[in-house]
Amino acid sequence: MSTLGELGEAGILARILPILSGAANTERTLIGPGDDAALLAVPSGSVVITTDTMIEGKDFLLRGDAPGRSPLGSTGEEIGHKLAVQNLADIAAMGAEPTALVLSLSAPATTPLALIEGIARGLAARSARAGAVVIGGDLGGADMISLTVTALGELVPGLGGRAIRRDGARVGDVVAVGTPQLGRSAAGLALLLGGHDPAELGDVQRGAEGALEFHRAPEVDLEAGHRLAAALGHDLHAMIDVSDGLLRDAGRLADASGVRIHLDADGLATMAEALRPLADSLGQDPSAWVLGSGEEHAMLICLPPSALQAARDVLRDAGRDLTVVGRVLPAGEEGPRATAAGVNEQGADGSALGWDHFE
Ligand SMILES: Nc1ncnc2c1ncn2[C@@H]1O[C@H](COP(=O)(O)OP(=O)(O)OP(=O)(O)O)[C@@H](O)[C@H]1O
Ligand SMILES: Cc1ncc(C[n+]2csc(CCOP(=O)(O)O)c2C)c(N)n1
Ligand SMILES: [Mg+2]
């Protein structure tokens, strides 16, 4: 089993570049990996850019028995898949389609090449599904694996060069998410960090496996972002991906838009009920998972009620659906914020819900 230290930079690149840029000969890639920088054509005239990092121990645990690892941890493919999803979701949430990615990869010299090849495969495969290719990157040494992707994209035609922002929510809008189920990533994280092997959880084994799988490699309808933008145009008032928890990310939308977003729809209760058996077995609150789960990456949107059916139809054509989770209200005396039924309506603290790297 060769390690990065045995191969050296040139040897590593010789192994991972064919994986990363196997499909890089798209029309847009004028210069791919191999030169000082890549050259990308941007036919629409503007480029959407985002970046996101995953650090071993902070954002994922490697699968294994060694200290700092977990038998429930991630494979290389899963890490690469999640790295793609995190970045592609931010492109999607602007109403854009991804075109290209660059990968900055730092790791200890003792890292097996097979793990890095797996990460490359996961990243390239999920990106390819979204129509994007890896066009470059960087290698470095580090005490733990650190992965930073920068993703580029272009706005969908028909929006007149307009991106879907966080600040367009209007009083009276419906708030919805592009998934039937939120909360699985938090459930999976609880299982991972608690060391709960699904095989030992009896009746809830299947649910636990699904939550762990979703946490390690979220399967998310990212196309919803640009499909909704293209179909609804100006009726898609605001959009964000749920990366730090529904309540927290709805709060960001509310804040940017100067409104209150109240989360109270039946859809949320249905999501919580689906997770209740698993939550009960861990002594946790399924509603807190639904409202607080980060790393979900589903699209959270605000749109006028008159556009809801059209939005549903767009997603249903692709076998997906939209779940209504709340509505947009005037900011009121307490100012712009997101509230959830029973959580922080009377100003009670809902801040424990959701993710912040430094809290
Ligand atoms: N270190 C930084 N330097 C410059 N801008 C930053 C930095 N960190 C965050 N930002 C910017 O702050 C804004 C808000 O970041 P935030 O993390 O809330 O959104 P996000 O990128 O959608 O998050 P997520 O990755 O969780 O989806 C983004 O526009 C982001 O580009
Ligand atoms: C080992 C381990 N510990 C904790 C977590 C949880 N976690 C990390 S980042 C994040 C939110 C999104 O971050 P960002 O805003 O950077 O996209 C969450 C919920 C994890 N995945 N793995
Ligand atoms: Mg985001």
Pairing of strands 337-340, 259-263: parallel
Is 277 part of any domain?
yes
> Is residue 201 domain-shared with residue 90, that is, in the same domain?
no
Domain residues for the domain of 44 are 4-155
243 lines ligand 1 (CB under 6 A): yes
281 annotated among ligand-binding-site residues: no
What integer pLDDT is reported at residue 296 of this predicted model?
Answer: 98
Is 345 part of any domain?
no
> Is residue 22 domain-shared with residue 127, that is, in the same domain?
yes
pLDDT one-digit tens code per residue, 196-218: 999 999 999 999 999 999 999 99
DSSP letter for 70, please.
Answer: B
255 annotated among ligand-binding-site residues: no
What integer pLDDT is reported at residue 343 of this predicted model?
Answer: 76
CATH classification at residue 75: 3.30.1330.10
Measured CA to CA, the distance from residue 295 to residue 244 in angstroms comes to 6
266 annotated among ligand-binding-site residues: no
249 lines ligand 1 (CB under 6 A): no
What are the two backbone dihedrals, phi and then psi, of residue 172, each rounded to the nearest 5 degrees? 100, -15
Mutate to test the pocket of ligand 2, among 74, 355, 356, 359 (most ligand atoms within 8 A of CB): 355
Mutate to test the pocket of ligand 2, among 72, 150, 189 (most ligand atoms within 8 A of CB): 189
Is 165 part of any domain?
no
> Is residue 17 domain-shared with residue 151, that is, in the same domain?
yes
> Is residue 150 domain-shared with residue 179, that is, in the same domain?
no
Helices 266-282 and 184-194 meet at what angle, rounded to 10? 10
> Is residue 126 domain-shared with residue 274, that is, in the same domain?
no
What integer pLDDT is reported at residue 65 of this predicted model?
Answer: 96
219 annotated among ligand-binding-site residues: no
Report how many domains make up the chain: 2
Residue among 63, 95, 96, 82 nearest 125 (CA)? 82
What integer pLDDT is reported at residue 346 of this predicted model?
Answer: 56
> Is residue 322 domain-shared with residue 195, that is, in the same domain?
yes
Q: How remote is the CA of residue 35 from the centroid of ligand 2, in Å?
A: 33
Count of beta carbons in the 10 Å neighbourhood of residue 56:
22
**Ligand 1 nearest-atom number relative to CA 297:** 27
DSSP letter for 156, please.
Answer: P
Is 162 part of any domain?
no
> Is residue 267 domain-shared with residue 213, that is, in the same domain?
yes
> Is residue 144 domain-shared with residue 243, that is, in the same domain?
no
Enclosing H/E stretch for 209: helix 205-216
Measured CA to CA, the distance from residue 298 to residue 301 in angstroms comes to 10
Contact assessment for residue 110 and residue 3, using Cβ atoms and an 8 Å cutoff: yes
Give Cα 246 distance to the centre of its chain.
12
Measured CA to CA, the distance from residue 213 to residue 293 in angstroms comes to 15
Measured CA to CA, the distance from residue 133 to residue 24 in angstroms comes to 5
> Is residue 141 domain-shared with residue 38, that is, in the same domain?
yes
> Is residue 130 domain-shared with residue 82, that is, in the same domain?
yes
CATH classification at residue 299: 3.90.650.10
Instruction: Name the domain boundary from 155, 186, 215.
Output: 155
Contact assessment for residue 248 and residue 339, using Cβ atoms and an 8 Å cutoff: no
Dihedral sign (CA 45, 232, 256, 222)? negative
**Ligand 1 nearest-atom number relative to CA 241:** 27
52 annotated among ligand-binding-site residues: yes
Question: Which segments of the chain have a pLDDT < 50?
Answer: none
H helices of 44-168, where?
Answer: 76-92, 113-129
90 lines ligand 1 (CB under 6 A): yes
264 annotated among ligand-binding-site residues: no
61 lines ligand 2 (CB under 6 A): yes
60 lines ligand 2 (CB under 6 A): yes
Is 355 part of any domain?
no
Contact assessment for residue 188 and residue 282, using Cβ atoms and an 8 Å cutoff: no
Is 350 part of any domain?
no
> Is residue 286 domain-shared with residue 193, that is, in the same domain?
yes
Q: What angle do CA 317, 322, 323 make, to 5 degrees?
A: 155
Task: Give the pair of three-digit tokens for residue 193.
Answer: 């960090």
Dihedral sign (CA 351, 177, 208, 217)? negative
Mutate to test the pocket of ligand 1, among 49, 50, 148 (most ligand atoms within 8 A of CB): 50
Contact assessment for residue 95 and residue 164, using Cβ atoms and an 8 Å cutoff: yes
Give Cα 261 distance to the centre of its chain.
21
Residue nearest to atom 20 of ligand 2 (CA): 59
> Is residue 43 domain-shared with residue 108, that is, in the same domain?
yes
244 lines ligand 1 (CB under 6 A): yes
What integer pLDDT is reported at residue 158 of this predicted model?
Answer: 79
Q: How remote is the CA of residue 355 from the centroid of ligand 1, in Å?
A: 14
210 annotated among ligand-binding-site residues: no
Residue among 261, 248, 260, 229 nearest 326 (CA)? 261
Q: How remote is the CA of residue 59 from the centroid of ligand 2, in Å?
A: 5
Is 12 part of any domain?
yes
Is 262 part of any domain?
yes
**Ligand 1 nearest-atom number relative to CA 243:** 26
What integer pLDDT is reported at residue 287 of this predicted model?
Answer: 94
